Amino acid sequence: MTAESSESTGQPPIVVYQSPLCPFCHFAKRLLKKRGLTFESINVQLSSAKKEEMIQRAKRLTVPQIFIGETHVGGYDELAALDRDDRLMPLVEAEARRAAGEPPVGGA
């Protein structure tokens, strides 16, 4: 397990379960970096326990599997679709509010 950045940034935790030879994993991490987001990158090839953790959380066997806060985004295609539809940063902001214990925008 390696962290791309462990700084406190006011954003929710973002976790990318990945393997080093997976091109879509690299695409996902590049997109997150392009948006200025920090994330924890977990190499599931190095740890069977982390791979099992990913499977339990995502209910999927493939990488990447991306979590923003408590929300399972899915893989790269889903992440890219959120970004393309201008829904990625609102999701990050909503998850940051949830992590801080704040009510969602527009009500309780």
**Cβ neighbours of 5 (radius 10 Å):** 13
Give the CATH number of the domain where residue 29 resides. Answer: 3.40.30.10
pLDDT tens digits for range 25-75:
999 999 999 999 999 999 999 999 999 999 999 999 999 999 999 999 999
Beta bridge partners of 40: 3, 15
Residue 107 lies in a domain: no
Cα end-to-end span (Å), the chain: 36
Among 49, 46, 54, 45, CA closest to 15: 54
Q: Structural domain tally of the chain?
A: 1
**Cβ neighbours of 31 (radius 10 Å):** 17
- pTM value is 0.88
In degrees rounded to 5, what are phi and psi of residue 67? -120, 130
